[in-house]
């Protein structure tokens, strides 16, 4: 009887784990195949015969002369498919077991403008002008004029920056007329750049240099994050950073004299970042700034396909994915679950209830008086669980509770996980398992602390008042190295 009971428990546990695995994604199958001067249609038919995956497309969108010459050894079907389609301006979507192949349609909206000095109207050549957190942007010419193509038909912020001047941000609505207009962006001199340079002694300079070197290492780790992508990121010009110690080296503030450039070789982007403020205080961090993304160049088709897969991985479960799903009303379908975060003043711990409230009782979304703008209100701080991906081992070793033996610590009836919010605060959450376990895959969990009861968000998903929130958990772990352009969506 005891043996049968244990077998039943083991079977239930196996079913539980298999339910968390997305076994329906047939595009993750690995395949060995060679294409020799094959037409695109022929290559797709070969994939259908070998995998059983059905492809739906209109033959008119496939260029007549397109040929496929490539060999693959145990490559994912997803990568093979992207390699076939990327050079002929096609992409795919998966729906109800069928892969639908579509043609990319580019936006024909353009934005023309001129960047000038606000005091005298003189042009500012080579100013950096870009749509915030996107891949669209341009540099002004000798006359201060610029032209940005492929402007999205959504609400966006246009940012202009120039060395020695204060940056300027102009908001555009989705239906704002661009055709036939020239937008003039007037920039004011930055008074900080005009401050007198202080002369200091050699000993003081050495001490400041040592402190700044230590602060830079801490800033680099917190800013880029701790994920695998962070290891493939490089800050190109750290000399533009300015460090300010608050009350100790553990609490500091960072600004930048110029655009900060970061090359992300994991996702294939060079990011021009207008860092307004980075503050690390009492174990929590706040980042304010505006980014422009540019594609890194590569002659390797496989590397480009790899970047595509890594971007898709970074998007799913991200802050952008969460906000897009919230606005579209698809949180549950997209794999998100919410819970409230409560602070226990007796134990000085943050905890989450075992039985969460309905989503509509945790978060409310109210349309603002402009298109694509929403007010987000929360009943308390929230824990966000993404149920389609698991935390990696490095994260769990650092931020999950561990026993003396080094294994992850769980109770006999529940799995307990602990996310480090700061050096002296953590959040505990539970999942019911019904048996003892020593190691188990844990869903990605992130925390949003709301500093105001209501904050403004926009579509595509972003917080327009980032100073109103603090982020902890998985999103903090990925940090800058997992950031994507706002206009990015898988496929």
DSSP string, 328-352: HT-TTTTTEEEEEEEEETTTTEEE-
Pairing relation of β-strands 111-117 and 182-187?
parallel
* Six token digits for residue 18: 């298999």
Identify the bridge partners of residue 72 per DSSP, sorted by sequence position.
Answer: 33
Closest CA to 289 of 240, 250, 326: 240
Q: What are the counts of helices (DSSP H) followed by strands (DSSP E) for the chain? A: 9, 29
Domain ranges of the chain: 26-103, 111-194, 202-295, 301-482
Q: Tell me the C-alpha distance between 396 and 469, whole Å.
A: 24
Q: Tell me the C-alpha distance between 84 and 301, whole Å.
A: 10
What is the biggest distance separating any 2 CA atoms in the chain, rounded to whole angstroms?
90
Q: Each residue's pLDDT tens digit in the chain (491 positions)?
A: 545 544 444 444 444 334 333 434 678 888 999 999 888 988 998 999 888 888 888 877 888 778 899 999 988 898 899 889 888 888 888 776 788 888 776 667 899 999 999 999 999 999 999 999 999 999 999 999 999 988 988 889 999 999 889 999 999 988 889 999 999 999 999 876 555 444 444 444 455 556 788 899 999 999 999 999 999 999 999 999 999 999 888 899 999 999 999 999 999 999 999 999 999 988 888 999 999 999 998 888 889 889 999 999 999 999 999 999 999 999 999 999 999 998 777 766 778 888 889 999 999 999 998 888 999 999 899 999 999 998 888 887 777 654 444 443 333 334 556 666 665 666 666 555 444 334 567 889 999 999 998 999 999 999 999 999 999 889 999 999 999 999 898 86
Predicted structure pTM score: 0.74
Question: Is the Cα torsion angle 329, 452, 282, 466 positive or negative in sign?
Answer: positive
Q: Tell me the C-alpha distance between 215 and 253, whole Å.
A: 9
CATH code, 111-194: 2.60.40.1120
CATH code, 26-103: 3.55.50.30
Would you call the peptide bond into 460 cis, given omega within 30 degrees of 0 as the criterion? yes
* Six token digits for residue 173: 């609505």
Residue 266, Cβ density class (10 Å: 0-12 exposed, 13-18 middle, ≥19 buried): buried
């Amino acid at each position: 009887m005891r043996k049968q009971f244990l077998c039943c428990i083991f079977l239930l546990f196996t079913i539980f784990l298999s339910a968390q695995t997305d076994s329906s994604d047939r595009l993750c199958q690995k395949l060995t195949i060679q294409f020799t001067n094959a037409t695109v249609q022929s290559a797709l038919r070969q994939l259908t015969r070998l995998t059983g995956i059905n492809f739906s497309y209109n033959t008119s969108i496939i260029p007549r002369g397109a040929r496929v010459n490539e060999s693959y050894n145990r490559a994912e079907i997803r990568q093979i498919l992207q390699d076939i389609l990327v050079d002929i301006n096609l992409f795919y979507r998966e729906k109800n077991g069928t892969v639908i192949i579509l043609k990319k349609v580019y936006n024909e909206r353009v934005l023309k403008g001129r960047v000038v000095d606000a005091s005298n109207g003189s042009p500012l050549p080579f100013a950096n002008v870009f749509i915030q957190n996107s891949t669209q942007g341009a540099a002004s010419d000798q006359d201060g004029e610029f032209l940005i193509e492929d402007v999205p038909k959504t609400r966006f912020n246009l940012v202009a920056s120039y060395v020695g001047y204060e940056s300027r941000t102009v908001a555009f609505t989705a239906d704002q007329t661009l055709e036939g207009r020239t937008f003039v962006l007037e920039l004011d001199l930055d008074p900080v750049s005009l401050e007198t340079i202080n002369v200091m002694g050699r000993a003081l300079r050495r001490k400041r240099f040592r402190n700044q070197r230590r602060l830079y290492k801490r800033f680099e780790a917190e800013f880029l994050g701790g994920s695998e992508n962070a290891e493939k990121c490089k800050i190109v010009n750290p000399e533009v950073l300015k460090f300010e110690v608050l009350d100790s080296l553990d609490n500091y503030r960072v600004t930048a004299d110029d655009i900060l450039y970061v090359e992300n070789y994991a996702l294939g982007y060079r990011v021009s970042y207008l860092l307004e403020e980075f503050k690390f205080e009492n174990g929590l961090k706040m980042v304010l700034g505006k980014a422009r993304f540019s594609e890194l160049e590569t002659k390797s088709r496989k590397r480009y396909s790899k970047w595509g897969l890594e971007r898709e991985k970074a998007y799913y479960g991200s802050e952008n994915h969460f906000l897009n799903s919230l606005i579209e009303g698809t949180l549950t379908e997209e794999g998100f679950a919410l819970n409230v975060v409560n602070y226990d003043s007796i134990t000085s711990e943050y905890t989450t209830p075992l039985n969460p409230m309905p989503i509509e009782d945790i978060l409310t979304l109210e349309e603002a008086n402009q298109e694509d703008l929403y007010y987000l209100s929360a009943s308390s701080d929230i824990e966000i669980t993404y149920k389609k991906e698991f935390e990696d081992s490095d994260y769990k070793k650092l931020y999950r509770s561990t026993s003396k033996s080094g294994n992850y610590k769980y109770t006999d009836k529940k799995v307990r996980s602990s996310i480090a919010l700061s050096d002296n605060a953590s959040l505990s959450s539970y999942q019911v398992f019904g048996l003892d376990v020593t190691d188990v895959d844990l869903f990605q969990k992130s925390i949003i602390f709301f500093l105001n009861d209501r904050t403004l968000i926009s579509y595509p998903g972003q917080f327009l008042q980032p100073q109103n929130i603090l982020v902890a958990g998985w999103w903090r772990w990925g940090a800058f190295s997992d950031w994507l352009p706002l206009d990015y969506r898988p496929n």
